[in-house]
């Protein structure tokens, strides 16, 4: 299948990815507060587990966002305007973009960006069947790196960056600002951003979403240790670690950790790491925003917030902002 001439250009070979993973893991396990970059949670097994999380009753985010989209789809489509091109960083299976593209007035192109080539190609095939006129060009790469943005085809059409799923929550406030500034740098006056974000709410609701009663999030978190074991010759005993997730109200984020249940030593890539009983590896942050926080974030990064949609419990928001 043709996927456009941007396929794979500049994609680091698998060996570079493995070395980067190794560097990041060894560095992360060497700091006082052990930490691992959350992007490594999303290998093939992790992505499947994350999809299972999205179906959980306890994980209100996915269905709440989906309900907002369903209800506001026509309004969003009209705000996006005719013949716009949609660019989606971290598109994954593109399931959120599909109904939006179908509702939009003659969209000129769809550019999904993701590290997972297989998932993008499947999604392209599915969407192309439904929307045969639409130009779809998957861009394979990490949207937090510069090179993918350079590989976006340049057309004269109005651009809208589509960033749903509360992916913004994985970034610290500083990183989120840098990311939105980078988005703004891709856009021209009048271009837009459609951003989904999880809102600050009761900590019991938040904590249940990240410590679900089906233990899927636990499996998702521990999958990172399995991944280190298989890819970096590690000997983590996943039973000697517990999943922990709590809402840090001052930092406005849910933190996910793996807690060592005993004093132990773990070997990774031939290096030894000591764990005290109760010591943790910080594996993910999920930042929560208030509506004014989101407006400030948008205003401080070159956007003008235009419109938002939320659910009746105000658990989740989707913001539309423009470059003035």
Binding region for ligand AVJ (CB under 6 A): 53, 61, 165-167, 169-170, 210, 217, 220, 284, 286
Nearer to ligand AVJ, 64 or 286 (CB): 286
Residue 308 or 316 having the CB closest to ligand AVJ? 316
Q: How far is the CB of 132 from ligand AVJ (least distance, A)?
A: 31
What minimum distance in Å lies between the beta carbon of 299 and ligand AVJ?
A: 23
Q: Which residues contact 69 (CB under 8 A, 6 or more apart)?
A: 76, 96, 99, 100, 164, 318
Closest separation in Å from C-beta 13 to ligand AVJ: 27
Nearer to ligand AVJ, 84 or 91 (CB): 91
Give all strands (DSSP E) within 168-289, no chain letters: 192-198, 241-248, 253-260, 264-268, 271-275, 280-287
Contact 262, 277 (CB under 8 A): yes
Kindly tell me the sign of the dihedral angle through the C-alpha atoms of 211, 216, 222, 228: negative
CB of 195 to ligand AVJ, least distance (A): 12
C-beta of 191 vs 198, nearer to ligand AVJ: 198
Look up residue 33 and give its two tokens: 């507060």
- Under DSSP, is residue 247 helix (H, G, I), strand (E, B) or coil? strand
d(CA 241, CA 225): 9
**Cβ nearer to ligand AVJ, comparing 84 with 119:** 119
CA dihedral sign of residues 217, 252, 95, 128: negative
CB of 90 to ligand AVJ, least distance (A): 9
- Name the 3-class secondary structure at 28: helix
Least Å distance, CB 128 to ligand AVJ, is: 26
Nearer to ligand AVJ, 134 or 216 (CB): 216
Q: Contact 116/99 with Cβ under 8 angstroms?
A: no
The number of residues making up the chain comes to: 324
Q: Which is nearer to ligand AVJ, 88 or 284 (CB)?
A: 284
CB closer to ligand AVJ out of 158 and 173: 173
Asked whether the beta carbons of 184 and 303 are under 8 A apart, the reply is yes
Least distance between ligand AVJ and beta carbon 298 (Å): 19
Residue nearest to ligand AVJ (CB): 286
Please state the closest distance from residue 50 (CB atom) to ligand AVJ, in A: 6
CB 86 within 8 A of CB 103: no
Q: In angstroms, rounded to a whole number, what is the distance separating the alpha carbons of residues 210 and 298?
A: 27
């Amino acid at each position: 299948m043709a996927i456009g001439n941007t396929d794979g250009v500049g994609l680091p070979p698998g060996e570079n990815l493995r070395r980067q993973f190794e560097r990041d893991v060894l560095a992360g396990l060497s700091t006082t507060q052990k930490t691992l970059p959350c992007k490594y949670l999303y290998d093939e097994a992790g992505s499947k587990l994350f999809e299972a999380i999205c179906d959980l009753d306890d994980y209100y985010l996915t269905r709440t966002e989906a309900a907002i989209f369903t209800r506001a789809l026509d309004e969003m489509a009209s705000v996006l305007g005719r013949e716009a091109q949609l660019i989606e960083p971290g598109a994954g299976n593109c399931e959120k973009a599909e109904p939006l593209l179908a509702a939009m007035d003659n969209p000129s192109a769809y550019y999904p960006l993701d590290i997972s080539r297989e998932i993008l190609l499947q999604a392209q095939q599915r969407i192309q069947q439904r929307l045969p006129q639409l130009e779809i060009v998957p861009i394979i790469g990490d949207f937090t790196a510069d090179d993918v943005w350079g590989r976006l085809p340049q057309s004269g059409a109005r651009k809208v960056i589509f960033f749903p799923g509360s992916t913004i929550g994985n970034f610290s406030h500083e990183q989120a600002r840098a990311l939105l500034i980078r988005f703004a740098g891709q856009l021209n006056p009048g271009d837009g951003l459609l951003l989904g974000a999880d809102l600050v709410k009761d900590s019991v609701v938040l904590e249940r979403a990240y410590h679900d009663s089906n233990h899927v999030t636990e499996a998702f978190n521990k999958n990172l240790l399995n991944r280190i074991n298989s890819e970096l010759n590690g000997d983590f005993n996943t039973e000697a670690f517990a999943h922990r997730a709590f809402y840090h109200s001052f930092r406005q984020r849910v933190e996910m950790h793996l807690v060592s249940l005993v004093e132990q030593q773990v070997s990774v890539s031939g290096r030894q790491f000591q764990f005290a009983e109760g010591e943790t590896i910080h594996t993910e942050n999920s930042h929560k925003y208030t509506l004014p926080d989101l407006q400030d974030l948008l205003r401080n990064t070159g956007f003008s917030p235009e419109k938002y949609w939320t659910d009746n419990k105000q658990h989740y928001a989707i913001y539309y902002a423009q470059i003035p």
